[in-house]
Amino acid sequence: MAGAPIASASSWPRALGDRPKVTFWESASFTAAHAVASGLLLGLGLSGLYRFARLFGTLEWLINFKRRRRFGAALEEALGRRPTPTERRRHTREFFMRTRCDKLFYLILDRIPRKRATRLLDIGNQPVLDEAVGRGRGVYVALSHHGPQHVIAMLFALRGYKTAGVRDRNEGAIRRFVQQRLDQRYPDLPKARMLFADSYPREIYRCLQDGYVLGSAMDVHRPRDPQQTTEEVVIFGQTRRFPSGPLRIALRCRCPALQAFIIPQRDFRYRLEIVGTLLDPDRIDNEPAAVAQAMRTYAANVERQVRAQPSLLSRI
């Protein structure tokens, strides 16, 4: 295939083994929080815990003025106009409630029986995903900073999918803590691998060649490396450059590239909505033109989804 270089060696992930360990104090803090949340789960049940989390999120919304202002600025950018006071209150309060629900659910995920946990995940347009997985070449899923990617990664792994994600190196301690607990409870399951977005690309090639479903968010504010291969797109009325390396690597691995959105629902249910196929390596003659069109389609879909559900913004 013809095409530009993918990226410099400093712009892609390295292996899961490089993930920093949870420190003693982090472990003690999260263990205490986990014990409290587990007690609430035992006393209230999953639906009751969900309502408790939304109440807690409402209290945060009332007192956290700084974060409210940050979300208000992000909301105005996403909508492309100044929101009405009613819109601002509704979307901001929903943002606080949703993020608290996601964090609490993630923290106690190991306390939910595996069979029940897998029923909490719905996959919209699943035949598209199953067909792509069935090719045996791996699947790249283009996500965005919209919804809890860490929750979906774990639920995917509990379903038995070989799952990997790409994220910044400043990985939150809660993710490392939860991964350790799930590893202890389900030692037979493949780990949800976490690759870092500032290292060498061979691990991404390896994951796709091994049949992983690998996801990352391409809607970055600016490339991490000036030599990183990008495509120009228009989103929210602004011209930006999004990294196209993930799509180019998918093509070189002969694996399909899909786009999906994560949509939290009531009572800790989550939906992964497969929008469709961005690139099919078996149907491409001109790689640069196909990648450019796929990036424009990706940006248009992100803009439409964010404006429809701005409370799901996760990069504030």
Q: With 60 as the cut, is the pLDDT of residue 50 above it? A: yes
- Provide, rounded to the nearest whole percent, the portion of the chain with pLDDT above 70: 90
More confident residue, 22 or 213: 213
Contact indicator for 92, 71 with CB cutoff of 8 Å: yes
| Predicted pLDDT of residue 16 | 39
**Mean pLDDT over the full length of the chain:** 88
Domain boundaries, the chain: 12-312
The torsion region of residue 180 among left (phi > 0), alpha (psi -120 to 50) and beta comes to alpha
Confidence of residue 20 (pLDDT cuts 50, 70, 90): low
pTM of this prediction? 0.88
Kindly state the tokens that stand for 288: 């640069």
| Predicted pLDDT of residue 11 | 31
Q: With 90 as the cut, is the pLDDT of residue 279 above it? A: yes
Residue pLDDT, tens place only, 82-91:
999 999 999 9
Q: Between helices 85-107 and 65-79, what is the axis angle to 10°? A: 110
Mean pLDDT on 145-154: 91
Residue pLDDT, tens place only, 282-296:
998 899 999 999 999
Query: How far, CA to CA in Å, does 99 sit from each of 17, 96, 111, 179, 311?
Result: 28, 5, 20, 19, 9
Confidence of residue 183 (pLDDT cuts 50, 70, 90): confident
Confidence of residue 13 (pLDDT cuts 50, 70, 90): very low
